[in-house]
């Protein structure tokens, strides 16, 4: 799956003003600026994943201590994979939703033009 950078920007836990400003001005950025935005977004994405993985790993360790979970040597890798897959699924869902909204908007414009 190819992730649209604008969708990634909308997905990230960033200040809403920063998101809006970046999205509004993105098309006018030069290639270096677009590269920098892309680099920062992906860096933020992986930081979000690492934070979530660490949080879930700590919870799993607590579950191990109290006997709610059996020990697995691959527990960290499994959690990391699950978190990554969940984030990708959420981005894909958002991207699909945005695509549907673009289609709806286009159809409304066509219908409005046809009634004039």
Total structural domains within the chain: 1
Determine the pLDDT at residue 78.
Answer: 94
pLDDT in tens, 8-48: 898 898 899 999 999 999 999 999 999 999 999 999 999 99
> Is 100 or 9 the better-scoring residue by pLDDT?
9
Whether this prediction's pTM lies above 0.85 is answered by no
Query: CA 48, CA 3: separation in Å to the nearest integer?
Result: 16
- Domain that residue 102 falls in: 5-114
């Amino acid at each position: 799956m190819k992730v649209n950078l604008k969708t990634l920007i909308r997905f990230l836990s960033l200040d809403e003003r920063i998101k809006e400003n970046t999205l509004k001005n993105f098309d006018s950025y030069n290639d270096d600026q677009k590269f920098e935005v892309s680099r920062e977004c992906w860096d933020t994405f992986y930081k979000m994943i690492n934070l979530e993985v660490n949080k879930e790993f700590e919870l799993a360790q607590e579950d191990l201590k109290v006997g709610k979970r059996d020990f697995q040597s691959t527990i960290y890798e499994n959690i990391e994979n699950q978190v990554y897959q969940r984030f990708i699924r959420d981005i894909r869902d958002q991207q699909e939703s945005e695509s549907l909204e673009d289609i709806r908007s286009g159809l409304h414009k066509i219908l409005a033009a046809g009634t004039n």
